[in-house]
Amino acid sequence: MKILGIETSCDETAAAVVADGAKILSNQIASQVEIHARYGGVVPEVASRQHMLAIIPIVEQALAQAKVTWRDLDGIAVTDGPGLAGSLLVGVNMAKAISLAHGLPITGVNHLEGHVYACWLTGRSIEFPLACLIASGGHSDLVLMRGHGDYVMLGRTRDDASGEAFDKAARILGLGYPGGPAIEKAARNGVASIPLPRAWLKGTDDFSFSGLKTALLRLVEGGKIALEPGQESKLPSAADAAASFQAAVVDVLVTKTVAAARERRVKQILLVGGVAANKSLRQHLVEASPIPVVIPEPILCTDNAAMIAACGYYRFQAGKVDDLSLDVVAGLKLA
Ligand code: KG4
Ligand code: ZN
């Protein structure tokens, strides 16, 4: 069963063809990151316009790369939320147009559920029940998954998501956008020597990262980080601050995820979402976990359409087919 996946929830226009929910035949992504970098973050109006320009070519490229025609496809999976409404609409309307023109069934996929299904593209066998940490720009959700499409929300962020925290910290340190890769790169040249606070929120599986961000901001405002040339001999550098910040986020994410997995006696831990591309997080989670950890390769952690197609396959298997009344839901929830 070959599924065309379409993803336009934020600033990547993506299309992919996946066979049987597991084999990637093509995976095309048109990134807008350089356009939004000028503004230091995603500008919703600009994102929708870019999706409009990119969507038809990217779908055509996905078919060409997979060496398939419309006739070879069995269905379309498209992200219907959560995300930016104007961006989501471009993908959903494209999917509806294809559905109508080529008589293909359509299924709407929750973007977060899509991130989880990137794990089915790794070739590893996935065993339920499992605990999944979805760490992205908008979410830090800890989820218990008991079967396909069966989620229990264990914890979520009470303020900033982990990716958002990386983006804000990078802005504070003047490291550019997007913040996650910028912090990771800077941290390689630094030492995690600055003690930064960790919000443990004991007794819950929730997260909080705004206190950590504020602590970093206070240090910068107080002139305690060497952001000007010549200060390095006396003060910790921006690289040290990046390393300290990354260490604090990784510490909290890893410790709380492993604790939740132990408590629920799950068989595996999955780590997904853009922040899962972070090498330090990947390494520390694997080292700390007593059970197998599945993490997609970095290109399948950040936004892509192969994960949407994989999730769509399991939705079609479960009979979850939508019709042309499918609409976008900017605040769509997982469980
Ligand atoms: O999943 P994603 O691509 O888009 C959303 O669904 O939000 O996640 C994007 C987030 C951004 O906040 C970005 O800074 C973060 O993932 N990110 C990273 C890394 N790569 C992307 N955070 C830490 N380390 C990275 N290497
Ligand atoms: Zn995402």
Tokens of 25: 């035949």
Q: Is 83 in the pocket of ligand 1 (CB under 6 A)?
A: no
Enter the tokens of residue 93: 């309307």
How does DSSP classify residue 120?
Answer: G
pTM of the model: 0.97
Which pLDDT belongs to residue 224? 96
136 lines ligand 1 (CB under 6 A): yes
Residue-wise pLDDT tens digits, 51-69? 999 999 999 999 999 999 9
Nearest CA to ligand 1 atom 3: 302
- With a CB cutoff of 8 Å and minimum separation 6, the contacts of 145 are 116, 128, 129, 130, 131, 132, 151, 152, 270
Residue 146, both tokens: 């008991």
What is the best residue among 11, 115, 166, 175 to mutate for testing ligand 1's pocket, by most ligand atoms within 8 Å of CB? 166
Each residue's pLDDT, cut to its tens digit, for the chain (335 residues) gives 999 999 999 999 999 999 999 999 999 999 999 999 999 899 999 999 999 999 999 999 999 999 999 999 999 999 999 999 999 999 999 999 999 999 999 999 999 999 999 999 999 999 999 999 999 999 999 999 999 999 999 999 999 999 999 999 999 999 999 999 999 999 999 999 999 999 999 999 999 999 999 999 999 999 999 988 788 788 999 999 999 999 999 999 999 999 999 999 999 999 999 999 999 999 999 999 999 999 999 999 999 999 999 999 999 999 999 999 999 999 999 97
Predicted pLDDT of residue 229: 78
For residue 246, give the amino acid letter: Q
